[in-house]
Structure 1
Amino acid sequence: MDYSNNYSTTSYGAQGGASGGGFLPGSQTDSPSTGKRSYGKDTLRPVTIKQLVDAHHPHPDAEFFMIDDSECTQVTFVGQVRGISTQTTNITYKLDDGTGIMEVKVWIDAEAFADPADPSNQKAKPVEQGYARVWGRLKAFNNKRHVGANIIRPIQDHNEIQYHLLEATAVHLHFTRGPLESLQQANQQKALGNGAQSNGYNQGFDGAAAGTNAGGTKGLAPGASRAARQVYTTLMNAPQTHEGLHLQDIATRANMEMAEAHKGADELMQMGLTYTTVDDQTWAILDV
């Protein structure tokens, strides 16, 4: 994926889609009175609700928000529907993604809404306690934020929830730490100079560096246990696919008991350095 200022992303099944530069229906035009925006500035970004809550205006008169010090117009996120309120002019959904709660407003086209034969009214609708994906724009009214949705649809495949969180993490790392390719080049040059192998993306959100050298787990937090260090070294050095290594394979390679290896892997996950992939027993380094 290309996460530059005009990054593109997958459409996730949205009609009209986010492919082709991340544009959405209705996203390429603003109020006629503004006339301030251009097509090139309108992008689609995967986010968490906490990022929406923490977003800020670059200056008091700005009509857009900044996330990770980058301009953000259209956003997409996934959450569980905690409540639905139907009004005359709009339907308000209250979504929770585990990082926060955000209201999502969908404006009702009276004629289309009243016509049961209209194809748009035959689509599946989000339901309470179900999961939904939203595409829209972050707005503020009377100091209260909400997302004005272009599209909202229920989640059919729950793998999409995890995929979205991983993609939001990848984009966050891109804007806060730079493109992966640049970091890899810098780390390769550094390795040539001091013989160390490092990777700037192996630094957890808690700030604990996870770079390693030929001797072991140099960059782990000082309080990391012996088991965590063994598991981390094994994951970093053992040949593997993008799915990572199964816990039994980790234990065998590190000459550890299964319980000890599992304890070490859990500790690394709490530090933000590893995650489970195809199942709860398969682990990989968080290296997006």
Structure 2
Amino acid sequence: MSENPYYAGREGGGFMQGGSPYGGGSQQSPGGEGRKRTNQSLRPVTVQQILNADQPVPESDFQIDGADIGPIQFVGTVHNKSSTATNVSYEIGDGYGYVDVRQWLDSSDDDSGKTDGIEQDKFVSVIGTIKVFGGKRHVSAQTIRPIEDHNEVYHHFLKALQVSLTIRNPGAAQGGAGAAGANANANANANSYAAPAAGGGDMYGHLIPMQKKIMEIVSADTSGEGMHVKHVGRMCGAVNGEEVMEAIEQLMGEGLLYSTIDDLHVAAAT
């Protein structure tokens, strides 16, 4: 893949990944200050879980089911919207509760692309982190996108339930590994977040060829740090770096990929 100036400008930030799949791991913060930071894998949740998340002490990581959490994903419908020069705020509910969501803007006219398709009473998918400001809890959103296929809503709730049950009773999850393997194809069809089943199932069949190839490549990575976008491009055999980056950004917008150790490393939302 040829060198692309687009890569050079995308450094820093992003989500970090490590430890257990859905939280509980920790990392030492840069600078040796000793503050523990949670595993930064993306976790599917409900609004009720967001509202009931524990924060043992101020400024510490939030916890759900006793596990530290970082970035979260939830779905719901938009009920209210307000804008300022620096952010757009929404009230989003999923039938289990309502939570304020705030998306920050880079400039006063930056909301044009970020708010496209986000309308009153329409379902959206939100990726962000839980924050507290002025004593009130909200979600600081990295991305908000409209949901076109209502099946995604059901899939999300199933995944949120599965993750919670796995964390609460890991022994049972391990004991059921054989049964889970025997029903891998059924699970892949019932769960849009699940990893592809070995030897069967095509959970990325609805994607265009380039996006499908990228998801198959990235979802096979087990490094815990994600794959560098240049490496993804080389494995795709792409000659146009912009085409790969455009596909990756679309997949991130749909919540299928997220950045890890920096903005140039991506992992599949599993």
What CA distance in whole angstroms lies between the structure 1 residues aligned with 2:133 and 2:114?
A: 31
Does residue 104 of structure 1 match 2:101?
Answer: yes
Q: Which residue of 1 aligns with 2:266?
A: none
Compare relative contact order (CA 8 Å, sep 6+) and give the higher one, 1 or 2. Answer: 2
Q: Which residue of 1 aligns with 2:221?
A: none
Q: TM-score, structure 1 length as denominator?
A: 0.49
Q: Which residue of 2 aligns with 1:177?
A: 169
What CA distance in whole angstroms lies between the structure 1 residues aligned with 2:114 and 2:173?
A: 45
Ranges in structure 2 where 5+ consecutive residues have no aligned partner:
1-17, 188-270
Quick one: which of 95, 103, 116 aligns to 1:124?
116
Does residue 144 of structure 1 match 2:136?
Answer: yes
Deviation at 1:88, TM superposition (A): 1.5
Quick one: which of 41, 60, 69 aligns to 1:63?
60
Ranges in structure 1 where 5+ consecutive residues have no aligned partner:
9-20, 22-27, 189-198, 202-240, 244-288
What CA distance in whole angstroms lies between the structure 2 residues aligned with 1:149 and 1:41?
A: 18
* 1:111–1:179 Cα change, 3 Å: farther
* 1:123–1:108 Cα change, 3 Å: closer
* 1:89–1:68 Cα change, 3 Å: same
Deviation at 1:103, TM superposition (A): 0.6
Q: Which residue of 1 aligns with 2:79?
A: 82
Aligned-CA RMSD value: 3.5
**2:46 is matched by which residue type in structure 1?**
T
Q: Which residues of 2 match residues 135-284 of structure 1 at below 5 A? A: 135-178=127-170, 180-184=172-176, 242=186
* 1:170–1:109 Cα change, 3 Å: same
Bigger Rg over Cα: 1
**1:50 is matched by which residue type in structure 2?**
Q
* 1:99–1:82 Cα change, 3 Å: same
Does residue 113 of structure 1 match 2:117?
Answer: no
Report SS of the residue matched to 2:139.
strand
Report SS of the residue matched to 1:56.
coil
Does residue 51 of structure 1 match 2:49?
Answer: yes
Q: May I ask how many residue pairs the two structures share in their alignment?
A: 162
What CA distance in whole angstroms lies between the structure 2 residues aligned with 1:84 and 1:155?
A: 17
**1:7 is matched by which residue type in structure 2?**
P
Report SS of the residue matched to 1:110.
coil
What CA distance in whole angstroms lies between the structure 1 residues aligned with 2:118 and 2:60?
A: 29
What CA distance in whole angstroms lies between the structure 2 residues aligned with 1:158 and 1:86?
A: 27
Given that residues 166 and 173 in structure 2 are in contact (C-alpha distance below 8 angstroms), is that contact kept between their aligned partners in structure 1? no
* 1:155–1:33 Cα change, 3 Å: farther
* Structure 1 residues 117-172: Cα deviation after superposition (integer angstroms, max 9, x where no partner): xxxx2873311110100000001112210000000011011110000000000001
Deviation at 1:87, TM superposition (A): 1.3
Does residue 92 of structure 1 match 2:89?
Answer: yes
Report SS of the residue matched to 1:134.
strand
**1:157 is matched by which residue type in structure 2?**
D
Q: Which residue of 2 aligns with 1:134?
A: 126
What CA distance in whole angstroms lies between the structure 1 residues aligned with 2:166 and 2:91?
A: 29
Deviation at 1:46, TM superposition (A): 0.2
What CA distance in whole angstroms lies between the structure 2 residues aligned with 1:32 and 1:108?
A: 29
